[in-house]
Amino acid sequence: MDARVRLGEVRGAAVLMSQILRADAQENRERIVRAARALFAERGLDVDMREVARRADVGPATLYRRFPTKKALVEQAFVAEMASCSAIVARGCADDDAWRGFRSVVEGLTALNVRNRGFVDAFMSTEPTASGFAAHRRELLTLLARLAKRAQQQGGLRQDFVIDDLVLLLRAGRGLASGSQKRRDAAAGRFASLAIDALSRGRPIAG
């Protein structure tokens, strides 16, 4: 057999093997992210990296090759939630009726809250494992503060509202993340309705 033919076959086999290894690595990465998303949603951020590896059915070494730190894994696990959160706020801010837009944000963030406990933990946390959310949080809270100001000026939102009140509501809503999905969704709707009623104009905070 011609040496050039043999060399071509070797190179072809090497390319094929490289493609197989890349596909295997990508599959492992996706399994790790899926496992992390599920565990963080169920239990918050207090999940050990080795537990993520066990859920993903990969070795710890494989996990750490893909995600050297828990921070990196947390950020990747919540890419979709960060996008959803941004979309909820953007839609609310785009509404000409600021009070209606603000109400939609409360409803949307409350629903997101009960479906993924870990995301709200990460969004609100100042811990190093969630530090990548700091800029995201600052940007969204700045937008929400402007929306709240417009809602106050238009007469819908109570005048003594401050943005920390919304943070307080989100923290309180973490307690709803238990039970079946149907029950959690119903609880989120009720919680948001009560929160909106409390935030409407004419209901001063007791001193």
- Condensed to tens digits (0 to 9), the pLDDT of residues 132-186 reads 677 888 889 999 999 999 999 999 999 999 999 998 888 888 777 666 677 888 8
Do 85 and 125 lie in a common domain? yes
Is residue 125 within 8 Å of residue 74, measured between CB atoms? no
* 74 in any annotated domain: no
Kindly tell me if the per-residue pLDDT of 40 is higher than 80.
Answer: yes
Is residue 41 within 8 Å of residue 117, measured between CB atoms? yes
Per-residue pLDDT, 23: 61
Q: What is the number of domains present in the chain?
A: 2
Higher pLDDT, 129 or 94: 94
Q: How far apart are CA 102 and CA 96, in angstroms?
A: 11
Task: Tell me the residue range of the domain where 54 lies.
Answer: 3-69
Q: How far apart are CA 103 and CA 190, in angstroms?
A: 13
Do 63 and 114 lie in a common domain? no
CATH of the domain at 65: 1.10.357.10
* 45 in any annotated domain: yes
Determine the average pLDDT of the residues in 105-134.
76
Do 38 and 97 lie in a common domain? no
From 69, 100, 121, the end of a domain falls on: 69
Structure confidence at residue 196 as a pLDDT band (50, 70, 90): very high
Do 145 and 179 lie in a common domain? yes
From 69, 99, 121, the end of a domain falls on: 69
pTM comes to: 0.74
